[in-house]
Amino acid sequence: MKRVVILGSTGSIGTQTLDIIRLFPDKFKVVGLAASRNEKLLAVQAAEFLVDRTVLFERDGMEALVALATMPEADIVVVSVAGVIGLLPTFEAIRAGKHIALASKEVLVAAGEIVMPLLREYNVTMTPIDSEHSAIFQCLQGYRLDQISEIILTASGGPFRGKTRDELSHITVQQALNHPTWNMGGKITIDSATLMNKGLEMIEARWLFGVEMDQVKVVVHPQSVIHSMVKFKDGSVLGQLGWPNMRLPILYALTFPERHPNDLKNWDPTDTPSLTFEKPDVDAFPALNLAREAAKAGGTMPAVMNAANEAVVAAFLQRKCSFLDIPSVVDRVMQEHSAVSATLTSIVEADREARIRVHEALGI
């Protein structure tokens, strides 16, 4: 029986994690739940899973969130909160020896430079929940990292695959939220539309798998069946395939290295006989290059890119800027930032400053 704390239990990943736990009541027990502001759903979840310890971040604050992430009776901490809120609880959970099942991109995008050494110092495992990183993680079992030639992240291409930059100039919020494959929250869906989600995943992969940024590639795969691939130095390529369903990578993250039979829909090769691939259009979707630049600059630059993107996406969802403003404002904020060494303090400060600069750039 593994005892689980879920940070972000009312969001998309959190609710699907609870779906998995419902399927395996003999293997998991929920001992802590945290949400940002959805008090009503949090209370319903706590009642169903008989959880005594809950945190509502906007009411209880960071200290309570950290206490939940480090509670002695927890074995696994699922980190699926949005933004830099997840940084300190993840740090402290690692120091407390908890296994981390990671869904929050910000932890490694903003702080991979200090998180990965911390994992090694405390001999703590981290399993990825993102479908792309889960795929890579699965493909690498039994292989040494120095055998990797390339990591190939697959992207659906989002709702605007094939459109030119000119065609993107009049995109509405409603159009951008219409993802062809995945059902996700607003911010992640917009990131998929701009391809910033792949940019963030590139930086995550660089840290998770100990490769250089130049070894991380992106290919557009509209069917979203191959979740990502690894090319080895001998030219062999391994991929992980399945229907686009986040519950499978969540299950693997919670049960690694075991694999359990389940009721999730299985994929069969004859179901999708035509799988296609194409290069991403970095002129129409410059977010990929922005992420590569941020990772190569290092220090606080990835945190700045991530925070600027969050802030301008929020402005777009509030109809305060255009779709093309998203990458252009992120680029501007990055150009204005002089990166310093990454520490928890410098990352939080860089995040704060980047959001202010976005508001200044947009006049909001």
Tens digit of each residue's pLDDT (9 = 90 or more) over 47-81: 999 999 999 999 999 999 999 999 999 999 999 99
CB contact at 8 A, 69 and 89: yes
First to last CA, the chain: 50
Output the pLDDT for position 178: 84
Pairing of β 28-35 and β 99-102: unpaired
Stretch 348-354: mean pLDDT, rounded? 96
Distance of alpha carbon 313 from alpha carbon 296, whole angstroms: 23
Which residues fall within 8 angstroms of residue 141, CB to CB, at 6 or more apart?
Answer: 257
Helix (H, G, I), strand (E, B) or coil at 324: coil
Distance CA 309, CA 156 (A): 20
Contact 72/79 with Cβ under 8 angstroms?
Answer: no
- Residues paired with 56 in a beta bridge: 35
Helix 87-95 × helix 105-121 angle, to 10°: 20
Over residues 326-350, the mean pLDDT reads 97
Which strands make up the sheet holding 2-7, listed edge to edge? 53-56, 28-35, 2-7, 76-79, 99-102, 126-128
List, for residues 252-298, the tens digit of each pLDDT value: 999 999 999 998 999 999 999 999 999 999 999 999 999 999 999 99
pLDDT at 217: 98
Alpha-carbon torsion, ordered 285, 105, 86, 123, to 10 deg: -150
Position 90, amino acid: T
Average pLDDT score, the chain: 95
Please report which helix (H) or strand (E) contains residue 174, including its range: helix 173-176
- Element housing 58 (H / E): helix 57-60
Q: Amino acid identity of 344?
A: L
Q: Using one digit for the tens of pLDDT, what is the confidence trace for 305-318?
A: 999 999 999 999 99
Quick one: what percent of the chain has pLDDT higher than 70? 99
| pLDDT of amino acid 184 | 66
CA distances from residue 26 to 2, 29, 242, 263, 305 in whole angstroms, order as listed:
9, 8, 26, 16, 42
Residue 193: which pLDDT band, with cuts at 50, 70 and 90?
Answer: very high
CA quadruple 14, 158, 306, 219: dihedral positive or negative?
Answer: positive
Mean pLDDT of 203-209: 97
Domains present along the chain, CATH in parentheses: 2-124 (3.40.50.720), 298-364 (1.10.1740.10)
Rounded to the nearest angstrom, the gap between the alpha carbon of residue 46 and the centroid of all alpha carbons in its chain is 25
Is residue 323 classed as helix, strand or coil in its secondary structure? Answer: coil
Considering the entire predicted model, what is its pTM? 0.94
Q: Which helix (H) or strand (E) holds 128?
A: strand 126-128
Tokens encoding 178:
């219409």
β-pair partners for 230: 151, 238
